Chains A and B, each alone.
Chain A
Amino acid sequence: METLIFNLFIFTLACFVGFEVISKVPTTLHTPLMSGANAISGITLIGALVVAGSAGEFTGTILGFVAIIFATINVVGGFMVTDRMLEMFKKKEDK
């Protein structure tokens, strides 16, 4: 129970940090911001690594394996496509 409270505590604080950091983003950056944030939500990958790699019951390993595939698609695809979009903005500014 104590850890749950502690976890809720940092969760709440992180939400406030998120609101502060991200408010007032110009419209142009909404799409890249969203796909970048989306990639960050793939952080669940590190949980998947532990589940898939700890040689427990086979069901757990398989669930972890699928989770790794899903999360990696999210992370790699998300960061790469964000970079692709931001590169387009960049090119245009140089002209």
Chain B
Amino acid sequence: MSQFLPQALLEYIPTAVQIIYILTVALFIIGLKRLGSPATARSGNKLASLAMFIGVAVTLFDQEILTFEYIIAGVLIGSAIGAYAAKKVEMTAMPEMVAIFNGFGGGASALVAAGEYFRIEGVSLPGSDLLTMCISIFIGALTFTGSIMAFGKLSGKVTGNPVTFAGQKPLNALLVIVVAVLSLWFVYDPSNLLPFYILLGISLLLGILFVLPIGGADMPVVISLLNSLSGVAASAAGFVLNNSLLIVSGALVGAAGLILTNIMCKAMNRPLSNVLFGAFGSEATGLAGPAAGDGSKSIREVQPDDAAVMTAYAQRVVIVPGYGLAVAQAQHTIREVASLLEAKGVDVKYGIHPVAGRMPGHMNVLLAEANVPYPQLYDMDDINPDFEKTDVVLVIGANDVVNPQARSNPASPIYGMPILNVDYAKAVIIFKRSMNPGFAGIDNDLFYLPNSYMFFGDAKKSLQSLVSAIKEL
């Protein structure tokens, strides 16, 4: 756009652009800060999008930009797809959506780094620039395919079970080494594009291999990590372009993703390395036998009428929602149950485990969509002391996060994971489709406790029958 400006101004443009970039970065930081507090979150998001708009608009004045056909077409197509997806997506599908967006961000960064080589005929570039180019393509391409795999697993298009094969870890390690060697080859002879293309291919492959062995229950960690990587990819592209705005913004996102990854790992009491390389729930099932004697395992079923009496005449009820609630789209029905109980004078709270749902904070979003009042939502640490004073706990579509094995059975793969201590309540009603074990594939001792009642069926239908039973009381 600089060609439309008077000649006298031209020499000031690069400086002006850089100064506005500094402003953009400042707005991003303030925006992220505001996103961290409920009262200011919405304005923070608006501020960040304003910053993005300013950054993009001012870049159009870059003197290297000569043609606008592709820019206009690309922005129009991208905006249309992005806006359509953002409007249409179901809140339950949020994790898939964030995963695929991460992939687009990472893919874009890899394309920018590769495109830069062709733009400036990279043969003449110094070695350090070529190396950052390779790193950028590696991270971006890996994020791209890794995110697509995560999307596939979350949306059920690819099996949510860990996929493992012999020699998986050595193969991955070998491929990473090959990438390093190829990078050096490319730096040594940048006119030869062969190592460049092989590097791109292996990076794409590694993204798939990296997510393949990770089970469905670990998806909150994977999404957080991919989110972080998409930021690092943008930052790496910034190194290639020598663009400080990209470097700083990417680093901010990288740090944010890493913090969330860490929170998720803590909530599952497992180090990151174990999530990524442990292939949780595949070989572990065998050794996680029941803690109690196996012959004595019996369960009790409960009918809607009895469940209605138990809850309606209770003083305190805690609802523990899990991902099964979201799958059954039952968040509105559980809200109805809660309202009915409250009308009868029952004290109703929701206990939310940090990894409930398929991404960090997912359950809170789902319950917000169903208009559950925010003050009724309690984090794990706040609700746990209350269970002993609770008459009835309704566990809906949650399994591993309420499994007492995490406290009692050192042989269990989930041993040490912080759980909601629902078994301390006077009675627990578990809404479940069948006796199948949860995502982690571990038997749940909770189901066999004397104060537990199973309510079999689709979560939404079960809750609807509970609603009508309570109404009839």
Contacts and interface: CB of A to CB of B under 8 A. Distances in A.
A24 B64 contact: no
A48 B120 contact: no
Interface in B96-130: 97-98, 101-102, 104-105, 107-109, 111-112, 114-121, 126, 128-129
Interface stretch (B65-73, B321-329, B426-434): B65-73
B56 A64 contact: no
Contacts of B227: 34, 37-38, 41
Contact of B74 (A32, A59, A69): A69
A16 B254 CA distance: 11
Nearest to B353: A27
Interface string B117-156: 1111100001011001000000000000000000000000
A40 B365 CA distance: 20
Given A29-B38, A77-B85, A36 B45 contact: yes
A30 B355 CA distance: 11
Contact of B104 (A14, A74, A85, A89): A74
A54 B85 contact: no
B265 to A, nearest CB: 14
Interface in B13-42: 28-29, 31-33, 35-38, 41-42
Contacts of B246: 43-44, 46-47
A41 B114 CA distance: 18
A88 B111 contact: no
B89 A41 contact: no
A50 B241 contact: yes
B425 interface: no
A56 B237 contact: no
Could you tell me the dominant secondary structure of chain B's interface residues? helix
A1 B82 CA distance: 38
B70 A65 contact: yes
B377 interface: yes
A38 B253 contact: yes
Contacts, number: 388
A35 B94 CA distance: 9
Interface in B399-428: none
A34 B253 CA distance: 9
Given A31-B94, A36-B48, A55 B32 contact: no
Interface residues of B, number: 116
B288 to A, nearest CB: 28
Contacts of A41: 102, 105, 227, 230-231, 233-234, 249-250, 253
A49 B377 contact: no
Interface string B230-260: 1101110111111111111111111111111
B361 A27 contact: yes
A65 B67 CA distance: 12
Contact of B361 (A28, A45, A67): A28
B465 interface: no
B451 interface: no
Contacts of B369: 88
A73 B238 contact: no
B167 interface: no
A71 B105 contact: yes
Most chain A beta carbons < 10 A, residue from B71, B102, B104, B132: B104
A69 to B, nearest CB: 4
B232 to A, nearest CB: 9
A46 B98 contact: no
Contacts of A36: 31-32, 35, 44-45, 48
A14 B115 CA distance: 26
B56 A92 contact: no
Contacts of B303: none
Contacts of A37: 32, 35, 227, 231, 252-253, 256-257
13 contacts: A17-B251, A19-B258, A31-B94, A31-B98, A33-B260, A40-B249, A44-B105, A46-B59, A64-B115, A70-B107, A78-B82, A83-B45, A87-B42
Interface of B: 28-29, 31-33, 35-38, 41-42, 44-46, 48-49, 52, 55-56, 59-60, 62, 64-68, 70-71, 73-75, 77-79, 81-83, 85-87, 89, 91, 94, 97-98, 101-102, 104-105, 107-109, 111-112, 114-121, 126, 128-129, 132, 223-224, 227, 230-231, 233-235, 237-260, 263, 352, 354, 359-362, 364-365, 368-369, 371-374, 377, 379
